[in-house]
Amino acid sequence: MEIGVGFTPFETRSDVVVRIAQRADERGLDFVGVAEGWTYDALIVLAEIALQTSRIQIGSIVVNALGRTPATLALGAVGLQRCSGGRFMLGIGAGSPPLAEGFHGVAWSRPVTRMRETVIAVRALLGGERFPEPVNGARPLRLGALPDVPVRIALAALSPGSIRLAGELADDWVPFLWARSRLGEGLALLAAGEKRAETATSTRVCPAVPVALAPTEDGARALAAWWLVTYATRMGPLYPRLLSERFEMAAALDAVVEASVDGRAPTLPTAADGLADEVTMMATYDDAGDAIAAWFRAGADALHLTLPPGRPEAELIEIVDTAAEVRRNTVGGRAAA
């Protein structure tokens, strides 16, 4: 059982991110990931984390393939693999139309093709090969320094085509806001992609699950409502389309959004209970073990617990400590058995 924590672009307190990463390292969690959006450069924050931790794996979960060239991704991966002592994983995603067009000034087009081209080029460069697609007849170049430890690549894929791409080219599939009961669909798509791979490999399933853990059920429900409302209304069309159309939960999503209109604090109506249970980690601290175990029973190989942004640091420490206790008890129980 591998359990880690992650941070969204909404978390702007880089000092808190580093301290929570240190806590996760000390408490024996397996991974800490930083997502890049419109705030901090994820690779720089990860470099800070790498220098302040000793054993925990670190990763960009995720950086935008439409916002960086393959060469800049490869350069960053080499640097992070060096300063972390071989603990870095490069997570890549297509981003979203608002982020690509409104922040990077890049047209949102052919996202799956762009991710394919990016992963192929990054793998080539990290493997010591020359850049595969130079333009205007330029001589293709290669990296002048290579990582001592191979860099794992993860894809944050949500569409069928991009999930098959993860199976074909990536080491890990890291979907965010994916429904727990639909992991089987993802596994089937990964398997279809793995059949297209030049080398037979198995892609690990590592969902990034929004954390809605709290001391009380009401507190957990409020956090789950915040996640659902935020990603339905502030992150472009991809997540509401995924939840409404792909997972056929439109009525539940509409209910939770409607409950928060006119500036009301997000609340979770009972009509949205099933949605929140499927796509978030909604539970009290006492029930966290069962909530985490449900994802592993559904087919996860590892779990990235995405921490709620802006919450008091003591609350984030409590979540880390709870996850570490669940991991320790589960691993210890298996060893004893």
Q: Looking at domain 2-217+279-336, which of 3.20.20.30, 1.10.3720.10, 3.40.50.150, 1.10.10.60 is its CATH number? A: 3.20.20.30
- In angstroms, how far is the first alpha carbon of the chain from the final one? 15
pLDDT tens per residue across all 337 residues of the chain: 899 999 999 999 999 999 999 999 999 999 999 999 999 999 999 999 999 999 999 999 999 999 999 999 999 999 999 999 999 999 999 988 889 899 999 998 899 999 999 999 999 999 999 999 999 999 999 999 999 999 999 999 999 999 999 999 999 999 999 999 999 999 999 999 999 998 878 999 999 999 999 999 999 999 999 999 999 999 989 999 999 999 999 999 999 999 988 777 889 999 999 999 999 999 999 999 999 999 999 999 999 999 999 999 999 999 999 999 999 998 654 433 3
* pLDDT for residue 16: 98
Give the residue among 112, 110, 89, 125 at the shortest CA–CA distance from 168: 112
pTM comes to 0.94
* pLDDT for residue 174: 98
Give the residue among 259, 173, 277, 169 at the shortest CA–CA distance from 220: 277
Hey, where are the domains in the chain? 2-217+279-336
Strand partners for 92: 63, 155
* pLDDT for residue 332: 52
Is 55 in contact with 25 (CB distance < 8 Å)?
A: yes
Say how far apart CA 111 and CA 23 lie, in whole Å.
Answer: 36
